[in-house]
Amino acid sequence: MGFRSITIVDLTRVEVGDDTFGELVSGSIFMAKHLALTVVATVLLCGCMDDAHVTLPSDSNSIRKRSIVVDISQCVTKQGQTVACSDVPTKDLQRVAELRGVIGAPATAVKLDNEKNLKDITYGQLSAFWSRIPVGYGCDATLQGIFPDKSKDSDNLNSYNFEELDRLIGAVRTAYRVPLWTAAYGLGDAQSSGGLKSSCVYGDVGMKVRGATVAEQIGTPIGSTDAEIAKWAKVVRQVTKRYNRTLPESKKDDSACNPQPGGVKDWWCTPSLFNIEFGRDPNGAGGFTDATKTNWLKAYKAFATELRAEFPYPGNDVLMLAPSVIVRSATEAQNTALGSANRSWLYDFIDYVVANKLKLSLLSFEVEAASPVEALNIVKAVRAYADEKGLKDEDGRAIRLFVTDLRLNATKIPESLKENPGRFAAFQGAFYTATKTLWQGLVFGATMGRVVRFPTQSSAEVDEATLAQNSLDSDLLWFDHPTEAPGNLKPTGWATFWFNRDFLGSGGGELDACVPGKVCTDAVAEARRKGLVEVTQGPDALGLTGQIQSDLNDGLIAMATRENCVSTDVDQLGDAIDCVPLTGNSDDFPAVTEGRQRVVRVLVTDMNVEVPSTNEVLMHQLRLEVKGLPNDVKTVGYRWARMNGNILSWLGFVFPEQGVADVHDGRLHVERTIAVPSMHYFELLY
């Protein structure tokens, strides 16, 4: 190809040479002088890390080649086909399913945790869209706490206690996010507890973190008789009605709901709760058994009937998600045989909804997997079964899938990685990111990763210090780390951040929040022609090791998008101005972005930390090749950001390396020594 490269020799000198290890970017390089030492140090040191807990064999840190290929001339359609981009109408482009949901609100569940950094900085950086509440926050915001005495009148709002749910919904809405409320679990039983509010119960229902069992909140069953089930459903209806009608109506004359021009209304001034989830983990934390499964299915019928009686569809935005069964392996998901002891309850639910012609907005379930590929296979199996049974949503479309939790089964990763919090967070972040990449075109929405720490004991039984000490770690933020401020982002947070509308996301507008029954338009995304392009995955799509290999189980997982400029402005000389969305510290490097009319974004995850000998690999030599650039493109501005276990957190967003590269025959490539596990985001501007 005639590529040239810059080869790192030492920390003060660079030499131009042939294609050799250590290359930065093919072709001529523009690099700001004050970044030169930073870039050199990054290339030399990115993959090196100390592990005080294990002595690795001498060959464990050997460099192994990895490569992927992005063809920006080939676009992916909504049907999953790859065709020439010039032949695809804009409406048929497959846009990125952002899946930007988290579990929890910008409000702590452990009182001793610092909430300020979480509320003021970090939650916004996560760029979440959905926030799933209230599981993990104790009993007060579940139905057990909201309706503490099931003998009371469900139509009388004085029978309810909304204080904790108000706190959580208020925190989510004030942060301009969308709450997803889990109607869990059964109603409270103050009579049996002597008139006192019953406390939470915690126990082992299958939750494991880094291979260790962790207790989680266990609920009471929804009901054991038809009368109890009917009352439970009426309570759910009243809660939903209160946040969408009763509360806004009662506050309409408040000064907080009638601000001066430029002011902001308080969250309760407008409807605030549209996504209602039917319980969760019914045959685990939900308390149902094989003997009482029929009651669980009846409860959904009552749930759907009551909600649609109050909120007919079409005509409102209230969505019903169900049944949030946990699918713990691809083997379980693929076992659909009637009568099988290992058949998932999810399939029983699908059969029941179809047979009884019940209404359902989104099919929800939780996923536990040991790898992104296993998570993909679980979703494929669920998709296939739902299609086979003809499960439709309320618009008559094939039901859309919503994953309400994604858990990493960490039994197959090295022990040393589990023991190192930074590397484990990077591995988990890569797991989330790679899984979201593979779920494109299959999953409509997802909430994954706990924002805050959750108690594993009842606050009525232990003091606050003990509660904090034994709490379940946040997946996304640091709360108990000697060098990180409470509430700072972990590397895991990248899995949400990169999918927002300024980067890989759909481009902003209504498409991000489109709900059934609405006409979804997005002029910006349409004009940009923003969509997915073809990626040939690793581990070695280029054959750098002598053999071309493309195996998701053993290599890199990547995705890429392309988009056009939407501005027609020109500068004083009549030249087109830069209209690529600018993010990060781009103003320091004008040559990277000036006059660029298009952008290609590439997200690469590398979590292949083991080799056949079971020794760990801590570094890979990554080569990203991009082809299909227009013939008239001679240079490309590039920006690169990365996250791994060496970088425990970040505040704000920066691209630590930026430059300009020559293009030869419509191709360019980037080559790096990278840490494993790690995530990498590239922007190529032309």
pLDDT digits (tens, 9 = 90+) for 479-500: 888 888 888 899 998 888 888 8
pLDDT at 503: 83
Per-residue pLDDT at 250 exceeds 60: yes
Q: In 3D, which of 555, 616, 624, 657 has the Cα closest to residue 49?
A: 616
Q: Residue 410: CB partners within 8 Å, gap ≥ 6? A: 208, 209, 210, 211, 370, 418, 424
Peptide bond before residue 282 is cis, with ω within 30 degrees of 0? no
Instruction: Give, in degrees to the nearest 5, the angle at Cα 110 between 106 and 116.
Output: 40
Q: In 3D, which of 640, 654, 644, 656 has the Cα closest to residue 490?
A: 644
**Three-state secondary-structure class, residue 468:** helix
Kind of pairing between the strands at 82-84 and 64-76: antiparallel
- Kindly report, residue by residue over 35-73, the tens digit of the pLDDT: 222 232 223 223 233 333 344 445 455 668 889 999 999
CATH class of the domain defined by 101-523: alpha beta
User: Which range, 48-62, 316-330, 660-674, is most confident?
Assistant: 316-330
Per-residue pLDDT at 513 exceeds 60: no
Per-residue pLDDT at 352 exceeds 60: yes
- Kindly report, residue by residue over 195-230, the tens digit of the pLDDT: 555 667 887 777 777 667 777 778 888 988 999 999
- pTM (predicted TM-score): 0.87
Per-residue pLDDT at 193 exceeds 60: no
* Average pLDDT value for residue range 305-317: 93
* Average pLDDT value for residue range 124-140: 91
Architecture of domain 46-95+531-685: Sandwich (2.60)
Placement of tokens 């058949």 in the chain: 343
pLDDT at 130: 95
Peptide bond before residue 313 is cis, with ω within 30 degrees of 0? no
pLDDT-based confidence at residue 17 (cuts at 50, 70, 90): very low
* Average pLDDT value for residue range 634-663: 83
Q: Are residues 335 and 310 in contact, defined by beta-carbon separation less than 8 angstroms? A: no
Cα-flanking dihedrals φ and ψ of residue 111, to 5°? -60, -30
User: Which range, 230-234, 537-541, 669-673, is most confident?
Assistant: 230-234
* Average pLDDT value for residue range 262-285: 92
* Average pLDDT value for residue range 105-113: 93
Instruction: For residue 679, give the DSSP letter.
Output: E
Half-sphere exposure of 650 (CA within 13 A, CB side): 21
Determine how many CB atoms are found less than 10 A away from the CB of residue 328: 18
Placement of tokens 């049996």 in the chain: 192
Q: Are residues 594 and 578 in contact, defined by beta-carbon separation less than 8 angstroms? A: yes
pLDDT-based confidence at residue 16 (cuts at 50, 70, 90): very low
Per-residue pLDDT at 574 exceeds 90: no
Q: Are residues 547 and 65 in contact, defined by beta-carbon separation less than 8 angstroms? A: no
* Average pLDDT value for residue range 372-386: 97
For the chain, give every domain's residue range: 46-95+531-685, 101-523
* Burial group, residue 440, by CB count within 10 angstroms (0-12, 13-18, 19+): middle
* Average pLDDT value for residue range 586-591: 61
pLDDT at 626: 96
Give the CA radius of gyration of the chain.
Answer: 26
Q: What CA–CA distance (Å, rounded) separates 345 from 646? A: 41
User: Which range, 85-94, 330-339, 379-388, is most confident?
Assistant: 379-388
290-307 burial: b if 16+ Cβ within 10 Å, else e: eebbebbbbbbbbbbebb
Pair of tokens at residue 637: 């501005």
Mean pLDDT across the chain? 81
Q: What CA–CA distance (Å, rounded) separates 470 from 465? A: 9
Type of residue numbered 504: L
In which element (H, E) is residue 504 found?
Answer: none
pLDDT-based confidence at residue 8 (cuts at 50, 70, 90): very low
pLDDT at 367: 97
* Average pLDDT value for residue range 144-154: 94
Peptide bond before residue 314 is cis, with ω within 30 degrees of 0? yes
Kindly tell me the sign of the dihedral angle through the C-alpha atoms of 492, 493, 496, 501. Answer: negative
Per-residue pLDDT at 243 exceeds 60: yes
In which element (H, E) is residue 273 found?
Answer: none
Q: Give the residues across from 671 on adjacent strands.
A: 623
Instruction: For residue 541, give the DSSP letter.
Output: T
Per-residue pLDDT at 421 exceeds 60: yes
pLDDT-based confidence at residue 509 (cuts at 50, 70, 90): very low
